[in-house]
């Protein structure tokens, strides 16, 4: 009886933030990399389980944290991918240590930063305060900057520098937008902290001054859009993905981009709550289509395997932004589904790519040939994953892209043309590159890599199952959230 | 009576003067061609910012803003310029600012950006009170000029200065918004701190590997990897 009451009143949100924070401190203190890798996995697993508890937790909006149907989707997906990535990371870094690319001291730093990053991302998703969300995204950016520069090669430092500069500009524009939102809210809700609380803003949005709110949204879209990797502000993304440790590439693509997207969506909701503002859709659709087409062309010219998939991330974030920009129940549903599928598939790809680069000792596409012959498990895993991300049925990505294209044909037939062109372009590029990577005479490499296939297999299985069968509760949930997004 | 000497008009004019000074100093930074001179001008801008923020603290009767002003004065006007001075001397960077676009067009672009921010802000905020809206227009000008400096400069130190000047604009905007919660001020100050640490580390690391902090030199290492 008491237990059930406790279960009803238990609020998992603070715990989701506390676990990674405590783990980060512990990991900074533990010198043994084996222990810390295990602790890293354990902490991530615990966070994921707590995040699952959110599903049954009450929807509350306190002064600090907010739990609603929209951010639960993001938190659960985030903590799940973080957990599987930590499992992959444990096997990945063991090899990096053996080859001497990283030292135990680096790893201590790496593990602590990994948890700081997770704490920051979860805070960004759960915070009910615009300012705190901004700080959290900023912290997440800075930790990833440090991780991208971890190898300390010339290229890694360049990538980190570029990422840092562009990321800071983005984050600065986002702060300016945040200040403007406060200034819009201040005459209506009064001075003080209330002017930055999501739940308060959403209720009072009708009375806001529409012109200034529009200006604020443009800044926020450009600012957080930089972090989403939308064209023309995507320049940092390929470098950051290719030079850091591969688990970080997986986390960047699978998680951090989503967190930034979440911020954009929140502000889009705010605009949608006011009838007099400009429609945020066309802006998002334009940036989304530009990203899709640009990435589609750029994919053909890639010579580095991690850069190849970084451009593919730009393509997919463009698709997702387009879907949410298009709006309406079907397109929003497609956007949510595509975001989930992209996170799962792209991180699976990076899990495979991480080990591929280790066995071949290179990231150059010209050094990676005939994987299915030399390393069948890795090779076929990569083939399945790339086929999935390229949008071949029966993977879940196919379903979301199909929904998106049909919805576009129904509402904006002219836009379906560039959309389909972009999809086909990217598809062709990925197939072309995949045939070189996976088939033909194998290039030289080693077998001495203890790869862990479990995270990749689990992700791919989920993506394939989702393409064939989505559980009705999940569909109902996504439909509900899609309705909220308007 | 002394209290009566401070009329709303005076509050407005003084705030206006300081905010305008920030914009002017941003222009000064645009045409500096020596790194040391650039750092000095940046320090001057930080002093102007400290005065502007202190005036807002006084006018809005918001004592916590004095903290922000103090941080601007101590940290941005003294600590950062001095340490960047020493870094430039120790690293033996060329003392010239290498520009990607020459000074003339940059100044013209700067004027266009200021005009743009005036048009956008004054049009978008007819409802807000005059002080807030003009402050905001100035703040946006400083932000955009900082951004312009980041794009038109080649070496890392002047890009960092551009970024910090951009942050000055943000602080001006944040303090101009009446009653903005403290969290933002702290966060802004905090972000400057972190940004500096990170940049410090990076400059140090870059120093380990390169003889120059010219970002173009970094680009060359990408070689054929596209």
> Does the distance separating the beta carbons of B124 and A215 come in below 8 Å?
yes
CB-based contact, B225 to chain A, within 8 Å: yes
Distance from the Cα of A110 to chain B's closest Cα (Å) equals 16
Query: Which residue has better confidence, A117 or A157?
Result: A117
Residue B157: inside a domain, yes or no? yes
> Does the distance separating the beta carbons of B183 and A192 come in below 8 Å?
no
Q: How confident is the model at residue A433 (pLDDT cuts 50, 70, 90)?
A: very high
pLDDT in tens, A438-485: 888 888 877 666 778 899 999 999 999 998 999 999 999 999 999 888
pLDDT at position A152: 77
pTM value is 0.90
CB-based contact, B122 to chain A, within 8 Å: no
pLDDT at B32 over 90: no
Residue B226: inside a domain, yes or no? no
Residue B85: inside a domain, yes or no? yes
Nearest to B167 among A146, A172, A182 (CB): A172
Domain positions in chain A are 279-486
Nearest to A186 among B178, B187, B205 (CB): B178
> Does the distance separating the beta carbons of A191 and B179 come in below 8 Å?
yes
Cis omega (within 30 of 0) for bond into A315: no
Residue of B nearest to A144 (CA): B198
Distance from the Cα of B64 to chain A's closest Cα (Å) equals 13
pLDDT in tens, A312-367: 999 999 999 999 999 888 999 999 999 999 999 999 999 999 999 888 888 888 88
pLDDT at position B208: 40
Please choose, from the candidates B144, B223, B159, the residue with its C-alpha nearest in 3D space to the C-alpha of residue A161: B159
Residue of A nearest to B161 (CA): A165
Residue B222: inside a domain, yes or no? no
Note the ipTM here. Answer: 0.84
> Does the distance separating the beta carbons of B210 and A186 come in below 8 Å?
no
Please choose, from the candidates A57, A33, A40, A47, the residue with its C-alpha nearest in 3D space to the C-alpha of residue A78: A47
> Does the distance separating the beta carbons of A138 and B191 come in below 8 Å?
yes
3-state secondary structure chain B: CHHHHCCHHHHHHHHHHHHHHHHHHHHHHHCCCEHHHHHHHHHHHHHHHHHHHHHHHHHCCCCHHHHHHHHHHHHHHHHHHHHHHHHHHHHCCCCECCECCCHHHHHHHHHHHHHHHHHHHHHHCCCCCHHHHHHHHHHHHHHHHHHHHHHHECEHHHHHHHHHHHHHHHHHHHHHCCCCCHHHHHHHHHHHHHHHHHHHHHHHHHHHHCCCCEHHHHHHCCHHHC
> Does the distance separating the beta carbons of B224 and A303 come in below 8 Å?
yes
pLDDT at position B192: 61
pLDDT at B179 over 90: no
Mutation for testing the A interface, residue in B124, B132, B157, B165 having most A CBs under 10 Å: B124
pLDDT at A394 over 80: yes
> Does the distance separating the beta carbons of A183 and B128 come in below 8 Å?
yes
Residue B176: inside a domain, yes or no? yes
Nearest to A176 among B170, B202, B221 (CB): B170
pLDDT in tens, B85-128: 877 777 666 667 777 788 889 999 999 999 999 888 888 777 66
Q: Work out how many domains chain B is built from and give that number.
A: 1
Identify the domain containing residue B93 by its residue range. Answer: 2-216
């Amino acid at each position: 009886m008491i237990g059930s009451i406790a279960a009803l009143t238990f609020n998992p949100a603070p715990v989701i933030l506390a676990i990674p924070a405590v783990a980060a401190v512990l990991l900074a203190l533990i010198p043994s990399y084996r222990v810390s890798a295990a602790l890293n996995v354990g902490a991530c697993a615990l966070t994921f389980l707590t995040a699952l508890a959110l599903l049954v937790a009450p929807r509350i909006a306190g002064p600090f944290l907010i739990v609603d149907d929209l951010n639960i989707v993001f938190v659960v997906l985030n903590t799940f991918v973080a957990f599987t990535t930590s499992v992959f990371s444990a096997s990945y870094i063991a090899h990096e240590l053996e080859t001497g690319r990283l030292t135990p001291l680096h790893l201590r730093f790496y593990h602590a930063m990994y948890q700081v990053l997770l704490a920051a991302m979860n805070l960004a998703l759960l915070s009910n305060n615009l300012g705190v969300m901004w700080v959290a995204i900023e912290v997440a950016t800075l930790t990833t900057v440090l991780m991208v520069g971890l190898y300390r090669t010339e290229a890694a430092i360049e990538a980190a520098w570029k990422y840092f500069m562009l990321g800071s500009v983005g984050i600065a524009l986002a702060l300016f937008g945040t200040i403007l939102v406060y200034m819009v809210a201040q005459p209506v809700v009064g001075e003080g902290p209330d002017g930055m609380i999501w739940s308060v803003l959403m209720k009072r949005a009708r009375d806001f001054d529409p012109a200034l709110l529009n200006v604020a949204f443009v800044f926020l879209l450009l600012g957080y859009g930089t972090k989403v990797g939308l064209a023309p502000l995507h320049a940092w993304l390929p470098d950051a993905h290719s030079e850091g440790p591969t688990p970080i590439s997986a986390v960047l693509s699978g998680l951090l981009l989503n967190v930034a997207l979440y911020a954009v969506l929140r502000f889009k909701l705010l605009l949608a709550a006011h009838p007099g503002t400009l429609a945020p859709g066309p802006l998002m659709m334009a940036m989304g289509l530009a990203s899709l087409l640009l990435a589609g062309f750029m994919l053909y010219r890639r010579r580095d395997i991690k850069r190849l998939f970084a451009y593919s991330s730009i393509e997919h974030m463009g698709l997702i932004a387009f879907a949410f920009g298009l709006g309406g129940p079907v397109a929003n549903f497609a956007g949510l589904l595509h975001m989930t599928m992209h996170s799962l598939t792209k991180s699976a790809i990076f899990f495979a790519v991480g080990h591929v680069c280790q066995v071949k000792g290179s990231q150059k596409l010209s050094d990676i040939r005939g994987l299915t012959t030399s390393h069948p498990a890795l090779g076929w895993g990569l083939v399945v994953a790339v086929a999935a991300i390229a949008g071949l049925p029966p993977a879940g990505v196919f379903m979301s892209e199909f929904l998106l294209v049909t919805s576009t044909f129904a509402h904006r037939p002219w836009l379906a043309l560039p959309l389909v062109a972009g999809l086909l372009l990217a598809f062709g590029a990925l197939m072309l590159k995949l045939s070189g990577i996976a088939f033909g005479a194998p290039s030289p490499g080693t077998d001495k890599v203890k790869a862990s296939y479990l995270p990749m297999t689990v992700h791919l299985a989920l993506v394939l199952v989702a393409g064939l069968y989505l559980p009705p509760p999940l569909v109902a949930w996504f439909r509900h959230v899609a309705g909220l997004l308007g | 009576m002394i209290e009566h000497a401070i009329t709303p008009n005076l509050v407005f004019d003084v705030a206006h003067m300081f905010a305008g000074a920030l914009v002017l100093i941003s222009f000064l930074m645009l045409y500096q061609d020596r790194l040391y001179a650039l750092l000095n001008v940046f320090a001057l801008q930080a002093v102007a910012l400290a005065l502007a923020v202190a005036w807002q603290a006084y006018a809005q009767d918001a004592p916590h803003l004095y903290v922000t002003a103090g941080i601007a004065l101590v940290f941005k006007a003294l600590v950062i310029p001095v340490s960047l001075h020493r870094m430039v001397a120790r690293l033996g960077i060329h003392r010239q600012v290498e520009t990607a676009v020459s000074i003339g067009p940059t100044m013209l672009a700067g004027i266009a950006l200021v005009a743009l921010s005036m048009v956008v802000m004054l049009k978008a905020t007819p409802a807000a009170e005059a002080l807030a809206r003009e402050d905001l227009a100035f703040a946006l000008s400083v932000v955009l000029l900082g951004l312009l400096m980041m794009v038109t400069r080649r070496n890392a130190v002047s890009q960092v200065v551009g970024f910090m000047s951009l942050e000055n604009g943000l602080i001006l905007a944040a303090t101009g918004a009446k009653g903005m919660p403290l969290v933002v001020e702290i966060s802004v100050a905090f972000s400057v701190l972190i940004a500096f640490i990170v940049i410090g580390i990076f400059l140090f690391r870059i120093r380990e590997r390169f003889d120059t902090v010219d970002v173009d030199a970094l680009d060359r290492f990408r070689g054929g990897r596209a």
